[in-house]
Amino acid sequence: MIDERHKSALIEILGEKGVVTDQAGMAAYEIGARYDRGRAAAVLRPGTTAEVSACVAYCVREHIALVPQSGNTGLVSGSTPDASGSQVVVSLDRMTRLFDLDIDDRSLRVDAGTRLSDINGRLEQSGLFFPIDLGADPRIGGMLATNTGGSRFLRYGDVRMNTLGVKVVLADEPGTVVDLMSGLRKNNTGVDWKQLFVGTSGAFGIVTECVLNLERLPRQVSTAYLVPRAGAAVMPLLRMMEQRLGSYLSAFEGMSGNAVAAALAHVPSLRNPFQNGDIPAYVILTEISRSWAPREGEQPLDAVLETVLAEIWEDDGAPLANAFVGPAHEMWALRHALSEGVKHAGRLLAFDLSFRRADVLAFCEWMKAELPHKCAGVDSFDFGHIGDGGVHFNLVVRNADQVDDAFEKWLRDWVYSVAVDRFGGSFSAEHGVGRKNQAYYDRYTPQESKNLAAGLKRLTSPGSLGSVCFG
Amino acid sequence: MIDERHKSALIEILGEKGVVTDQAGMAAYEIGARYDRGRAAAVLRPGTTAEVSACVAYCVREHIALVPQSGNTGLVSGSTPDASGSQVVVSLDRMTRLFDLDIDDRSLRVDAGTRLSDINGRLEQSGLFFPIDLGADPRIGGMLATNTGGSRFLRYGDVRMNTLGVKVVLADEPGTVVDLMSGLRKNNTGVDWKQLFVGTSGAFGIVTECVLNLERLPRQVSTAYLVPRAGAAVMPLLRMMEQRLGSYLSAFEGMSGNAVAAALAHVPSLRNPFQNGDIPAYVILTEISRSWAPREGEQPLDAVLETVLAEIWEDDGAPLANAFVGPAHEMWALRHALSEGVKHAGRLLAFDLSFRRADVLAFCEWMKAELPHKCAGVDSFDFGHIGDGGVHFNLVVRNADQVDDAFEKWLRDWVYSVAVDRFGGSFSAEHGVGRKNQAYYDRYTPQESKNLAAGLKRLTSPGSLGSVCFG
């Protein structure tokens, strides 16, 4: 708990409702979405950039450690305090006022505490949306801090590619506000500073406002399940789909049979879509979409997808074992149930990895072959975003008693070393860096990059900010 | 000229053909594409990253100032030495060996000295291309250093969005090589360092290799000229086109009547496409495209465009005065002739500006109204990329004798102040920063950003590198 002097000073800055120090009030800010539980010295809830600046400046001068928190939906312990009880959480949850839509510019100025669902809910009638598609419902500041990707990266890119501007408070003695909110799409006037605050877990500054690129909402959507003949058929399939469907293609998601079975078992309302209920070893969910309403003379989108799948069937050496178009909501419902399903399949050890696109399946198959020898009783329930090389590599341990800290560390070390050292992949595709994977940042980041990060930390936010140590 | 000791040492590192010191050999490296002429102390032509590192390290230790040069097609004096004769040019023109295409990943590893035309020429048979469309033919390292945008930004984004990795040599005493070549699309493991070397004119390091995102080549293209009823009709037109054509839309370029007339006058082989030859005050060139071959049952792209234009015509208060679909090569030929045409219309003072999209026309019209009062005899021949807010704002002075240094400075100061202060625009949309616009970087960059840049300069490349002073 912070002492009374600090508490009074912070109440002076933020008002009574801006400073939470009672246990009940702090609880929700201390618990991570899935994994951890820490203890906060206090929770600060500023309502404006000026308030963020003032409270950050105070804490930096008083050597109080700060952890910025946005929607707190992350999975790497990036936004919760540690167990020491000495860190103060700076929550963005009252930063939700600004909402300035520029229709002509297809852009939105918004406070960093605004939830993704609020953004897209309020935008719906304009026919526009912020095109990052996630299972969770984070606040936008945290989405910037982790540079979230999601299921439609293939078409729209990640948060970084859709961020036109930010306003940031640095953790230095004055609580410097850096205003990068011009929001211009083409602007090459030196360093593009906003890039430093995207994907860096709030360690270099707290994003308080941003300008977002918006895209036109899909008005026609068609989906299919594709069953490849083998893992090696997935890349040819993706190539054929890209070749024939170009910018229509908006998702190309991979699902292991294990993950599909776990979802069907966990959510009884889901229909098993496969012939005789036989779940294949691997399935692709692909989606094509157009942002305009159906037009006379234009082939319906389902027919386009059917035609293309027929063409692929007719190809010599067609990589397809099976394929069928089906209702988008039903097909996506199964995809969205994977995460919960897998959690209920046993003791879960989850990895958020990425590779060059061709290596996703190569890695998963290598692992599947090795797992029985390396650690019997552990199975892979992977699924992910083949179109951009991301994979949620989930290991489920049948006998939960097998898992203690030493086993978990040993298994994690092994998986990461195969992913990074052998396959040239990343230990964090789209969840970002937090306390949970700090050790892997330390291990896998080249020394030159670490030196630059430490220097940048001194340069921007020398105060103690964030749950990650880049310095 | 560098002294004999340095010359010998550098020949030791790079070999005889890697070090040019004779006047005739250096001439091509001393002259800018359009504007300036400097004097080099020597030209270094390393062939590998290791050679770049070794010669940079030598020069940093010996306090020799370096200017990296790529294709030298820039327009802001970013890649040529100044008049002092003390700067050494480091040319990338021998860095052209690496060309590693990953079809499955849709990515290309390439040396930084490779020309854009070589990249796309060699890629053609794969059906892929690097989707940055420019008038010039730069080498890729320079494209990264300026973050070029071009005419199809609206569809594909800029160089930044299409760069998956870089290898960089820092101007520090060891000539540190920073290898960021994993090329992963989703990779959030801390600071995305490659962002610092994009759009920063080579001041923080010399890019020697990169990984590029590739897109599928367009296989069907349809273009039209749209004549808006007035400047205020351009944004509604763009909105309607985006609404009805979504991801088909690949260009939405604006051309002032003055610029069109100048191009037609300069290139006699161009056909005047307008009724009775009457050139409108403003014309939009719009392009839609698809990356797949025509398919049975699918409406041809020209018919799609005709249909949409007919819909827009039928709308109440249609913003169109005229519109017609025409041959893409002919329509683009006129667009591509604008730059040369304008240069021959009189004494040219060119500005590379950007705005929020709606402000492009607002700015141009404001200027057109003010110019006769502010400086008679000066007319605007603007054209640009309405779809992303960029505009090549060209002022042509009828009486060239009117232009001396003082007049040019006065006029530039005025235009930039209107663009930046009044309209919230940028003084460099896509040409980047060089000696030519250093004064405007100094004037318009907020002090916090300047401080960060100076700190970053010390952190990365403390040696004298580049034609711009960020420090």
CA proximity to A252, closest of A267, A240, A268, A266: A240
- Give the Cα separation of A223 and B424 in Å (integer): 43
Answer with the one of A304, A321, A339 that is the final residue of a domain: A339
| Band of pLDDT at residue B392, cut at 50, 70 and 90 | very high
> Given CA atoms A359, A365, A371, A374 in this order, what sign does their dihedral have?
negative
- Nearest-Cα distance to chain B for A310, in Å, is 13
- Work out the mean pLDDT of chain A and round it to a whole number: 96
Each residue of B159-181: pLDDT tens digit? 999 999 999 999 999 999 999 99
pLDDT confidence of A311, banded at 50, 70, 90?
Answer: very high
Minimum-distance CB partner of B427 among A147, A189, A303: A189
Question: Nearest Cα to B280, choosing from B224, B231, B317?
Answer: B231
CB–CB contact B147 A188 (8 Å): yes
B442 touches chain A (CB under 8 A): no
In a domain, B104, yes or no: yes
Question: Hey, is the C-beta of A189 within 8 angstroms of any chain B C-beta?
Answer: yes
Q: Determine how β-strand A215-216 pairs with β-strand A206-213.
A: unpaired
B234-245 and B301-314 helices, crossing angle to 10°: 130
pLDDT in the model for residue B33: 84
CB A153 within 8 Å of CB A215: no
Q: Are residues A262 and A351 in the same domain?
A: no
How far apart are alpha carbons B172 and B307 in whole angstroms? 59
Q: What is the mean pLDDT of chain B?
A: 96
Structure tokens at B319: 């913003």
Residues from chain B that touch A185, judged by Cβ atoms under 8 A, are 153, 354, 357, 388-390
Which amino acid, residue B440?
Y
**Which residues of chain B have a CB within 8 Å of the CB of A242?**
106, 216
- State whether B208 and B242 are in the same domain: no
At A20-66, the pLDDT tens digits run: 999 999 999 999 888 788 999 999 999 999 999 999 999 999 999 99
CB contact under 8 A, B431 and A188: yes
Whether residue B464 lies within 8 A of chain A, CB to CB, comes out as no
pTM of the entire structure? 0.97
Do residue A186 and residue B455 have CB atoms under 8 angstroms apart? no
Considering the domain architecture, whether residues A333 and A365 belong to the same structural domain is answered as no
Report the pLDDT averaged over residues B443-460.
Answer: 95
Residues 286-325 of B with CB under 8 A from A: 290-292, 295, 297-299, 303-304, 307
> Does some domain include residue B203?
yes
* Position A471 confidence tier, pLDDT thresholds 50, 70, 90: confident
pLDDT tens for A230-265 read 999 999 999 999 999 999 999 999 999 999 999 999
Q: Give me the domain span that covers residue B11.
A: 4-91
Mean pLDDT of A108-113: 98
Q: pLDDT-based confidence at B121, cuts 50/70/90?
A: very high
Reported in sequence order, the residue ranges of B151-281 that DSSP labels E, i.e. its strands, are 163-169, 177-180, 206-213, 215-216, 220-228, 249-256
- Structure tokens given for A101: 């839509």
Task: Identify whether residues A146 and A224 lie together within a single domain.
Answer: no
Verify that A225 and A335 share a domain, yes or no: yes
H-run or E-run covering A215? strand A215-216
pLDDT more than 90, % of chain A: 94
A445 → chain B, closest CA residue: B189
Closest to A325 (Cα-Cα) out of A307, A347, A351, A299: A307
Q: Which of residues 2-41 of B touch A (CB under 8 A)?
A: none
Give the B window 136-155 contacts with A, CB below 8 Å.
146-147, 149, 153, 155
More confident of the two residues B261 and B399: B261
In this predicted structure, the answer to whether residue A277 has a pLDDT above a threshold of 90 is yes
Confidence check: pLDDT of B206 > 90:
yes
Query: Is residue B318 predicted with pLDDT exceeding 90?
Result: no
Whether A169 and chain B come into contact, CB under 8 Å, resolves to: no
Contact B137, B115 (CB under 8 A): yes
* CA gap A431, A201 in Å, rounded: 10
Locate B416 and state its tokens: 């930039």
In a domain, B441, yes or no: no
Supply B383's token pair: 């054209």
Chain B residues in contact with A198 by the CB 8 A cut-off are 192
User: Are A177 and A266 in the same domain?
Assistant: no
Q: What percent of chain B has pLDDT over 70?
A: 100
* Burial class for B149, CB neighbours closer than 10 Å (0-12, 13-18, 19+): buried
Cβ-in-10-Å burial (0-12, 13-18, 19+) of A62 comes to middle
Residues B242 and B233: their CA atoms lie apart, in Å, by: 14
Show residues of chain A in contact with B195, CB under 8 Å: 192, 195-196
Residue B195 CB partners (closer than 8 Å, separation 6+): A192, A195, A196, B160
A265: contact with B, CB 8 A cutoff: no
Q: Give the CATH number of the domain where residue B168 resides.
A: 3.30.465.10
Domain final position from B55, B72, B91: B91
pLDDT in tens, B23-39: 999 999 999 888 788 99
Cβ(B178)–Cβ(A448) below 8 Å:
yes
Looking at residue B317, what is its pLDDT? 78
Section A411-433 average pLDDT: 97
pLDDT bracket for residue A1 (50, 70, 90)? confident
Average pLDDT, integer, range A408-424:
97
* pLDDT tens digits for range B331-348: 999 999 999 999 999 999
Query: In the numeric block, which tokens belong to residue A354?
Result: 């990425």
Contact call for A358 and B106, based on CB within 8 A: no
Based on the fold, state whether residues A294 and A329 are members of the same structural domain: yes
Is residue A255 located within the same domain as residue A198?
no
Residue B402 pLDDT exceeds 90: no
Domain endpoint, select from B317, B339, B361: B339
Residue B228 lies in a domain: yes
Alpha helices, DSSP H, located in B69-222:
116-123, 140-146, 153-156
A234 shares its domain with A149: no
Q: What is the CATH number of the domain that holds A237?
A: 3.30.70.2190
Closest chain A residue to B301, measured at CA = A298
Alpha-carbon gap, residue B115 to B93, rounded angstroms: 9
Say yes or no: B441 contacts chain A, CB-CB below 8 A. yes
Chain A residues in contact with B361 by the CB 8 A cut-off are none
pLDDT (tens digit per residue) in A206-226: 999 999 999 999 999 999 999
Q: What is the per-residue DSSP string for A162-183?
A: GEEEEEEE-SSTT-PEEEE---
Collect all residues of chain A within an 8 Å Cβ-Cβ radius of residue B193.
449, 452
For residue A463, being part of any structural domain is answered with: no
- Nearest-angstrom CA–CA distance, A287 and A155: 10
Above 80 in pLDDT, residue B471? Answer: no
Q: Give the separation between CA B319 and CA B14, rounded to whole angstroms.
A: 61
Q: Which of B182, B184, B239 sits opposite A104 (nearest CB)?
A: B239
Assess if residue A453 is contained within a domain.
no
Give residue B273's pLDDT.
Answer: 96
Residues B132 and B241 in one domain: no
The predicted-structure confidence for B86-109, as pLDDT tens digits, reads as follows 999 999 999 999 999 999 999 999
- Burial class from Cβ neighbours inside 10 Å (0-12, 13-18, 19+) for residue A406 reads exposed
For residue B357, what is the domain's CATH number? Answer: 3.30.70.2740
Query: Confidence band (pLDDT; 50, 70, 90) for A315?
Result: confident
Q: What number is the ipTM of this complex?
A: 0.97
Judged by a CB distance cut-off of 8 A, whether residue A196 touches chain B is: yes
Query: Mean per-residue pLDDT for A362-385?
Result: 96
Does the residue B28 lie in any domain?
Answer: yes
User: Residue B369: is it exposed, middle or buried by C-beta count within 10 angstroms (0-12/13-18/19+)?
Assistant: exposed
The answer to whether residue A137 sits within a structural domain is yes
- The alpha carbon dihedral of A104, A109, A110, A112 has a sign of positive
Which among A106, A235, A429 has CB closest to B186? A429
Cβ separation B190–A470 shorter than 8 A:
yes
pLDDT of residue B297: 86
In the 8-state DSSP scheme, what is residue B420? I
CATH number, domain of B55, equals: 3.30.43.10
Mean pLDDT of B430-442: 95
Residues A9 and A62 in one domain: yes
H helices of A315-389, where?
A: 328-343, 357-374
Q: A320-346: per-residue pLDDT in tens?
A: 999 999 999 999 999 999 999 999 999
Count: domains in chain A: 4
Q: Do residues B303 and A298 make contact, with C-beta atoms less than 8 angstroms apart?
A: no
Encoded tokens for B303: 């018919």
* CA–CA min distance A393, chain B (Å): 14
Provide the pLDDT for residue B147.
97
Are B143 and B204 in the same domain? yes
Contact predicate A84/A196, CB 8 Å: no
